[in-house]
A and B are shown apart, each in its own frame.
Chain A
Amino acid sequence: MGRRPRVGVVTFPGSLDDRDALRAVRLLGGEGVPLWHAERDLRGVDAVILPGGFSYGDYLRTGAIARFAPVMEEVRRFAEAGGPVLGICNGFQILCEAGLLPGALARNASLRFVCRWVHVRVESTATPLTAELLPGEVLEVPVKHGEGRFLAGPEDLARIEGEGLVVFRYCGPGGELGEAWNPNGSAGHIAGVRNEAGNVVGLMPHPEHAVDPDLGPTGGQPLLASLLARALARV
């Protein structure tokens, strides 16, 4: 076995899930590398995670301020060079605001903060996060957000669907789609998307909270394991 993959996790002011993401990476055999929003240095990592939380208090719009953080210039460069970048929840919102992912995240249709376990169906395996999974595979992972309704204009949405950029959809335990399984009113039940190249992926659910069998379902394990395997394969 070669060296352990080094996965950077960025801490912004107001990040919450950076510790859990670092811990999940360690648990799955990788090395978690803390990164700081104000530094233009990715410390030579193999992959980058933008974690969940409420960066800059979600002022103006979720992710709107964080995307101008100094570290984001390096994340953009890393992404453009093909490096694997994963945005979870607030990290997903930041990637959309930065234009690294298509679409936007708006206030939940219910106007309520949702915090519960959901199922998601893998729609695309053309990302480092899902490369080791099968299309149609169903995973149980938690969501906890007030602004997770995936939105895009009609043309953008058609392009996202047409080009297969949807990575995850909210679904029932058997993979079935329906409004009852959609926690926030997302268009097309979309829970996660990727960029055209596939190396940048974002999702609202939290794989990093679903890796430890002592704490509940472990739907996040195969996803993060895939990310770790692919992060090394790329080097």
Chain B
Amino acid sequence: MRYRFEVVVSLRPGLLDPQGKAIESALPAMGWTNVSEVRVGKHITLSVEADSLEEARAQVEEIARRLLSNPVIEDHRILRAEEVPGPDAAEPGRGAA
């Protein structure tokens, strides 16, 4: 089975996020003065071949902890996990995307 994941990595709360601050400081120029707490993170998508969603999720958790994020300063969260057509599902008439 093939499973598709979306992972979000963000700077831990309380740590200064200068990119978020820079974005926030540009918003008044658009006329918005009611926006605060802008934080910037990373959005990562990946597909995993595995026998079950649980197995795939455990693997993605490890990848997120050891590579996608630096736990010293970042948190990670799996936003979405879903089964998608795998390579063996690519017979004619299917998966034309």
Contact = CB atoms under 8 A, between A and B. Distances in A.
Interface of A: 60-61, 64, 68, 96-97, 102-104, 106-111, 151-154, 156, 185
Given A151-B72, A153-B72, A156-B72, A107 B18 contact: yes
A114 to B, nearest CB: 13
A153 B73 contact: yes
Nearest to B15: A151
Interface residues of B, number: 14
B11 interface: yes
A152 B16 contact: no
A111 B22 contact: yes
A153 B15 CA distance: 8
Q: Is the interface of A mostly helix, strand, loop or mixed?
A: loop
Given A106-B11, A153-B12, A64 B70 contact: yes
Nearest to A110: B18
Contacts of B19: 107, 111
Contacts of A104: 70, 72-73
Contacts of A61: 70
B90 interface: no
When A and B form their complex, which 6 residue pairs have the shortest distance between CB atoms, in order from nearest? A104-B72, A104-B73, A111-B18, A151-B73, A109-B18, A104-B70
